[in-house]
Amino acid sequence: PMGSERMEMRKRQMSAGQQSPGAAQAQHSTGTRGSNACCFCWCCCCSCSCLTVRSQDEERARRASHELQAEGIPNCEESPAPTLEEVNAWAQSFDKLMVTPAGRNAFREFLRTEFSEENMLFWMACEELKQESNKSVIEEKARLIYEDYISILSPKEVSLDSRVREVINRNMLEPSQHTFDDAQLQIYTLMHRDSYPRFMNSAIYKDLLQSLSEKSIEA
């Protein structure tokens, strides 16, 4: 009995020994494939997602840089610092605000906070166009104004009614200094009625007024 049990145990060990290399190899092979497949899949997904995010970020940066270069607009007009009397005058009427470079700069800064700076930029571009006398320069500037502020494809499109747009389209057949007069008046009126009252109650205006008042008292 003892011999038969010993022989039976040896058979089991031999059987297990024969199966172990194959099983181990199979397990190793399966494990390796699983590991490789998992690793490959993970690396692929990771790489794709990282590359996609990186490409999107780079594209946004390039687009922003291109828009800034294409815009070519100075941050503000050159002007001396406003006096207390001038800043007080801005509260009397919108015309007195818009007639001075310092007033336009302060108002433009406020419009930027409301994401409507294009209204001031359009108005200023129209004023600049009126100063031109060279026909080819007028045509080129009129085309740029149209592309930047009138075209529905532009991110800086200003809000104009259909009647004014029809007038502009007719005028663009033979551009002149006054091609955008109706549109400029409409945007001026919009800024006057809509944005100007909020500007007078804004921190930008109140802080400037307070700062000049304190300097006046100290002097």
- Each residue's pLDDT tens digit, 6-48: 555 555 555 554 444 444 444 444 444 444 444 434 444 444 4
Average pLDDT rounded to a whole number, residues 69-91:
76
CA pair distance 212, 77, nearest whole angstrom: 20
The predicted pLDDT at position 186 comes to 98
Under CATH, domain 84-218 is a member of which superfamily? Regulator of G-protein Signalling 4, domain 2 (1.10.167.10)
Provide the 8-state DSSP code for 79. Answer: -
- Whether the CB-CB separation of 96 and 154 falls below 8 Å is answered with no
With bands split at pLDDT 50, 70 and 90, how would you rate the model's confidence at 184?
A: very high
Among 185, 164, 171, 187, smallest CA distance to 139 is for 171
Average pLDDT rounded to a whole number, residues 60-89:
64
CA pair distance 202, 210, nearest whole angstrom: 12
Q: Which CA distances in Å does 74 have to 62, 108, 113, 132, 216?
A: 20, 12, 17, 19, 30
Q: Would you list the domain boundaries of the chain?
A: 84-218
Average pLDDT rounded to a whole number, residues 172-200:
98
pTM of structure: 0.65
Average pLDDT rounded to a whole number, residues 59-70:
41
